Each structure stands twice: as structure tokens, then as C-alpha cells.
Structure 1
Amino acid sequence: MRTLAQRMTEYIARSPAAWIEGQIAQVSMRSGSQMSFVTLRDPSVPMSVQVVCSRTLLTAMDPPPSEGSRIVVHGHFEFYPARGSLNFRVDQVHPVGIGELLARLERLRRLLAAEGLTAPERKRPLPFLPGVVGLITGRASAAESDVLANARARWPAVRFRVENPAVQGVTAVPQIMESLTRLDTDPAVDVIVLARGGGSMEDLLPFSDEALCRAVSHCRTPVISAIGHEPDHPIVDDVADVRCSTPTDAGKRVVPDAAAERRQVDQLQARARRALTGWVTTEEARLRRLTSASVLVDPLTPIDRRETEVRSLRERGRSAIGIGLERIERDIAHRRAQLSVLGPAATLARGYAVVQSHGIVLRSITDAPAGADLRIRVADGALLAVSSGPESPVTD
């Protein structure tokens, strides 16, 4: 162990001097001692270092350093084997001035803007009516009562889950980040309100911490920032989804106004009633116009009229067909009579005959030479004969 401690002492002694900036968590100046001990912490993460310096370095500062003050120290690390502790022995101590602090905050503001963490398109809309509102604020603070009172005045049924971390001092940032994580991981919480009353710029410094701002920007739940008063503008206002000028304003923004919503519902109901009444009136007038048409008032009369017309046309058609048929029958009887008078049967009945030879009607004596078979058709039948040749002419 002695060998290891000696090597650590030698190794740490070779480390170069460095400048360190931090926030004073504790100052110990023992009476009668020329040495002072300061616990210097990183405001963003739970990390601290023990600083050893001359008492005169601290008493020479105006104003004297106190818990929560930011300082910059220069020195080097020392390892004490007897106690196994690591200290940072300083030879210079400087307070972080307001001007320098504001410049650093402005550089951080520009850095977050360059990364897009403050872009308007990243801002998420607040839920219309959150089921549970997460509230991060100081215990029994005016900011807490302002948010709760104004929200419940607007919507009495609103539910809150309140976290009360430290909102200033050396432990503020880690506690606020822990509360933010708990609320963001709670599925019942729909919106988170980060609220604090007014104060000096130093009191509001935790809400410009880079780690806290990044944690707010990475939250899945919409975050409302309501820090200080209207002139106050910590960096967390830029990365939050909604910035409210005061905690009172946050209480009004987080939930709707029940009375105003009820009035709006009443107005919409009245508009819907008027619209429906107007539509029904218009349709009734249209129905009256349709039902007042003659075809709907007396639908059977046009049908009866059409039936009479059809019946009349049918009778006219039948009459025309009958007259036509009678005319045709008379023509047929006339043609039949003509055929009876002019036909071959009537001629045969008057004593004429038709002589055929081999199926050919004889028209000349040369058509029936002697010996030719003849068929003689008379009125009541036909005779068969044989031609004896032409008849000799008779002489007187």
C-alpha cells in the first residue's frame, strides 16, 4: 500500500496546474488556522472537489464567497497518503462576475439554438385537457399556490402530481432533473409545469444550466416553463414547449376555462339548433311544393284519362281493322266471281273441250297426226281417243 500511495503521490504531483470553475457548496474557515477548505461542485452533475487555499485568498474577495457563489480557481492536485484524499490546492481565486456570467449564458443560448433545441418546429402543442399535470416547484412556495389556485379556478377537476425539489442553490439542478425524470416517465402525466417565483439573477441560475436545459428538451412530455416574472428570461424558457410569463399565467394555460368552454358549447348548440331548424323548414317548404302538384294531389285522374284514351284508340283500331277486313272480303268475292265467269271450267261448261296430245294442248291439226293418242277434257271429266288425221273439207 505504501508503494502504491507513493506512486500516486508522484504521479499526481506531475499533473499540470489547471483552472476550475464551480459553485461553492461549503466553505470552512477555521479560526486560528491559515488554511481554508472549500467544497466546489459542478452545478450540472453530482460531482465535487475539495479545494484547499490560503485564508487570505478568501478574505480578500469582495464580497466574501458564500454558498451558491460561482468562483474560478487556479492550482494543482495533491494526494495525501495519510488520509488517502485528493485535494486541489489553489493559489488564485476569482469570482465569476455578472458580465462574464451573462456572456457565458448568451454563448450557451446560441449553442442550444445552433443545435436546433430552441427551434419553433420542435415545440409540441399542449393537451386540451390533461389527465394529470406534473408540477415542479419549491415546497410551499407562492409559485405552487399560484399554479394550483388558478388551474383549479378554471377547471376544478384538474389533478396534479407535485414535486418539490430545491429551486435555488447548489442542489437545485440535480433535484430538478430527478423530479423531471420521474414526471416524464409517469404515463399518467400529460404535461409538466416548471414554476418558480421571482428572484435575483443568481437565484434563477439553475434554470439556465445546460444539463437542465438539455433534459427539458429531451422530455417526451410537453413542458411549460414559468420562471420568475415577465422580464426574467432563463434559458429553460427557450427549450421548453411553452413559455409563460409567471406561474399564474401557467395555471391559466395548462387547463381550459370550464366556464368559457361551457359558453362555447352553449353557442355551438344554439348554432346547431338554428341550422337544423332552418334545414327542416326548407325541406318542409320543398315538400309542400312537391305535394301541391296536381299529379300528387289527384294521381288517379290522369290515369283514368289515359285509360279512356287507350280504350278509345283500341275501339278505333278494332273498327278500322273490321272495315278493312270487310273491304278485303268483298274484293275476294268479286275476284272469285270473275274467276268463275272467266275461268276454263265455265268455258268447258258451255260445251268447249280441251284436247291434249302427250300432255300438250292441241292448237293446230298438225299437232295431232293420224294415230296420235288424244286426251279430251270436257266439263265433267276427260276422254281418251285416237286421232284419225285431219278432217277432209266438206264441199257443197
Structure 2
Amino acid sequence: MGEPHRVGIVGLGVISRAYLETLADHPAVSVVAVADLDASRSAAVAAELRDAEAMSVERLLDRPDVQTVLNLTIPAAHAEISLGAIDAGKNVYVEKPLAVTFADGRSIMERAASAGVRVGCAPDTVLGTGTQTARAAIDGGLIGRPLSASAVMVTAGHERWHPNPDFYYAPGGGPLLDMGPYYVSALVHLLGPVRAVVGAASRLRAERVIGSGPRAGQRIPVQVDTHVSGVLEHVDGALSTITKSFDGVATTAAPIEVQGETGALAVPDPNYFDGEVRHFPLGGTGWRALEPRAGYVGASRGVGLVDLVQADGHRPPRAGGEVALHVLETMTALLRSAAEGRRIELTTAVRRPVPVPLIQVEDWKGQDPYGH
């Protein structure tokens, strides 16, 4: 595989631990620099890694041996850090969403194209065996022509468990921009890109109460819609209905269901890499589980970055910026549709990412399974 690709991480919050589980010992990459607004946090993370040095964000972006910046900052900082990395001639892999606004997301992609660097973006969970097995079943004709899908996420809100949940209720947060990337990305992998949307949204509580940590009991303002529903019109004609809510308690709905002419699929939660895919054939009497037939087995967050590194210009990255921009436009168009009360046609067009064959992560760590 040659020399490992050198990565610098900006932002060392909760999600960084999941990324480091994948990246810390992966032979394709080497984490050589880490930065966080909390210098003690970056020093602690650097001490855990073999080759990493703690430093300021500015120094990391200027460091010549950093080839790709992993941007794990809060959503409001995604565009600033990504554009700074691109201007320094570095590739970027961003935690979802690509940016807070579609305009910022488009600027990232346009600036990257001009600079000749690559952009990747979470979620990469859709590259696991859950979504990829469902996609393989659809592509193999198991349910006939796909006609419709539903994607549902209902929770009481992240303030119940997160000690600093403010950004979930600030611009760039809310259930759609926070959790929607998992579901919309999965729908794009399963059914293809979206051409138009119709949305509705509500915000029925002005405040939320933090439920854990040193700020427990503190009230925070709600600045975004906390329940969003909509319809996605896919290019090939299928319709998806989507509901994302921080206003509920629980639901019995499957995270994603796909209805076809000759069967239905229940798809596991795209917030996770794996999970059971179930099939109900036309005329059948019950659901049956499908054996995993595609996707990275045993994967964790960060596989999308490694996929980008190993693509290296030979193919589009599966968790690439183009798909992330399309997903961002889909979500922001839903919110705009809700505000304006009209159907909105999208301006971006993408192809479904290349499917992932059934790959054991251990094998994938040893060599590039695509022969590049």
C-alpha cells in the first residue's frame, strides 16, 4: 500500500473517539496532527497516538505533510475549517452535514474543484452491511421495481443525554440536519438521487432542558424546527416520505422501508453500519432476514475517509462531497419548502455511489480490495 496517507484532525469531541477506533491503527493512514479549541484535549489525544502532534488549528492547516484534514468540528464551523484546508491545498473529509447552508456547501465543492483536491463527507455508515445489503437486494431485483420508501426517526431530543446540546437547537442543527444525513444518504444509495421535495415543519417548544452533566437543569433556546416531514421525488420516479423529530417519545416504524412491485424491504437504522435487513415477498406470509451480501463487515466511523484515500482519483469516493452536497440541498430544500409552502426542484444531480462488495474489514486493512 506504500506510505500511509497523512491525516490531521480538527475537532476532538465525542465523535472523534469513534473515528480514532478506525484510523489509529489503519495501515492506509497515519494521524500526524490533532487540534482542538481545548489545548489540553488535543494534548491528551496526541499522547494516545504513535505519530501525532498536538497543535493549533492554524498550524495544522499550514503543516505541509498533512494531506487530508478530518473536520470534526461543530456544524457551524464546517465551512470555515474545510475552506481553510482547501485553500492550503489539502483534501477534506467532513463530519455531517457538509455545511450549515447549501451556499456554503456549494462553495466548498467549487473551491475544492478549483484547487484540485478531494472532498469526502459523512455519513459512511451507509457503506456497512445494513444499507449495502439492502441495496444489493434492490439492484438484484428481489422486490421488483422500487416504488416508494419511508424513513422515520423519532426521539425525545438529544438534550436528555448530551451535556452540551446547544448546537442541536441552533442554526445547522435540528433533527433534519443532524440525523437526516444518515437517512437521506441511505435513500440516495438505495433509490438514487432526488429531483424535488415538498416539506412541512414545526417548532412547538421555545426551550429545552439539559438532562445530564454539569449543566443539568439549564434551559437552552430552540432556534430551529424540531419536527420535519416531507416527500422526496426521486429521479427514477419513486417517492420517499421522511419524518425526523426531536418532539416524540418512541415509534414502532422501521427506520427505512422500501416498497417494490414484488416485495418489501425493512432496512436497519442507517445511523449504524450493520443490522438485519428483512424481506417480505408479494404473497408471502412473513418477514425473513437476509444474510449480509454487501458492505464493509464490522466497520466503524472513518471507513469513508479510508475509502476516499484508497479511491485516489481512480473512482469517486463512496462517501464523497458530491453526494453530501446533494443530500444537503435535499434537506435545506425541505426546510425551505416548509417555510414557503411550495414544491422545490433541486439543482444538484449525482449518480448513486459505486456499491460496496462484501468486504471483511480485516482484509480491507491489509490491502486495497479494488486493485488501485
Q: TM-score range by the shorter chain?
A: under 0.3
Greater RCO (Cα-Cα under 8 Å, separation 6 or more): 2
In terms of fraction of residues, the more helix-rich structure is 1
TM-score by length of 2: 0.23
Q: TM-score, normalised by structure 1?
A: 0.22
